[in-house]
């Protein structure tokens, strides 16, 4: 599972005795994930829920940027704000997208559709299976 295979994405997390600080690696990159002080962590990185939102927000922005660039529309910046709420039915994520550029309403409407095609959005709204085993 730790070796990179062609077409397979991998990540590894290592959590040691330093409260809840966890080092996450994927490919040649690493980030720190932690819990906030009020949950017993040291607040040295995003918490897992923030990381989930960051994944959705960054994927949304990148997907929109790719589409905008292909269409050669004038957009200098895309901002994606996300909030996660626990509801009686489960989890609700609200996503607010702001464009700094020259867009007409028809283009904005199309970009709203494209946002739902980001791969992370598809994973989060699709049928997910997770298998767990012990090494």
- What is the Cβ-side half-sphere exposure of residue 103, based on CA atoms within 13 angstroms? 21
pLDDT greater at residue 84 or residue 17? 84
What confidence tens digit (pLDDT) does each residue in 78-95 have? 999 999 999 999 999 999
Residue 9 has pLDDT above 60, yes or no: yes
pLDDT at 1: 46
- The number of CA neighbours under 13 Å toward the Cβ of 3 is 2
pLDDT (tens digit per residue) in 50-59: 999 999 999 9
Residue 24, φ and ψ in degrees, nearest 5: -110, 130
In this predicted model, which residue has the larger pLDDT, 17 or 54? Answer: 54
Q: Tell me, which fold does domain 48-125 have in CATH?
A: GMP Synthetase; Chain A, domain 3 (3.30.300)
Domain residue ranges in the chain: 1-45, 48-125
């Amino acid at each position: 599972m730790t070796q990179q295979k062609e077409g397979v994405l991998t990540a590894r997390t290592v959590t040691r005795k330093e409260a809840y600080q966890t080092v996450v690696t994927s490919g040649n990159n690493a980030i720190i994930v932690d819990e906030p002080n009020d949950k017993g962590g040291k607040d040295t990185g995003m918490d897992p829920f923030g990381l989930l939102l960051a994944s959705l927000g960054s994927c949304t922005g990148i997907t929109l940027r790719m589409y905008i660039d292909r269409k050669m529309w004038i957009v200098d910046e895309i901002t994606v704000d996300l909030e996660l709420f626990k509801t009686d039915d489960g989890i609700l994520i609200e996503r607010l997208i702001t464009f700094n550029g020259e867009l007409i309403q028809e283009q904005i409407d199309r970009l709203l559709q494209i946002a739902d095609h980001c791969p992370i959005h598809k994973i989060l709204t699709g049928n997910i299976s997770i298998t767990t085993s012990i090494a």
